[in-house]
Amino acid sequence: MLDGGNDNTSTEVDENEFMNSLALFYLQMQAKMLLPASVIQKLIEEFQEVHSSMFYEEVMMTHFKEAEDALLLLADVSYHYWSSITLIVKSSFLL
């Protein structure tokens, strides 16, 4: 079933199993609860929207963290830059 050390194959198998299980879940829900296909489709769309928004938030948090790191680095460089200038000015006045 799985290819020795090939992680890519195991991921594909897991995705296929997940999709099959999810499809069976929706079919069982439709059959046991006597829900029309339009209701099932609406549920699928809502779950996709929730998943997309969670993914979007994760991506945005990553970008915010990168921006925060860049600003902190810039602030650190600016602090050292201004510290150097201050030392130069102070030493100039002492001469």
pLDDT tens digits along 33-47: 888 888 889 988 988
Sign of CA pseudo-dihedral 34, 37, 42, 44 = positive
pLDDT of residue 11: 65
pLDDT of residue 86: 72
Mean pLDDT of the chain: 77
Quickly state the pLDDT bin for 75 (edges 50, 70, 90). Answer: confident
Task: Copy the structure tokens of residue 18.
Answer: 């997940």
Quickly state the pLDDT bin for 1 (edges 50, 70, 90). Answer: very low
Packing angle of the helix pair 7-33, 37-94 (nearest 10 deg): 130
pLDDT of residue 30: 87
Alpha helices in the chain (DSSP H): 7-33, 37-94
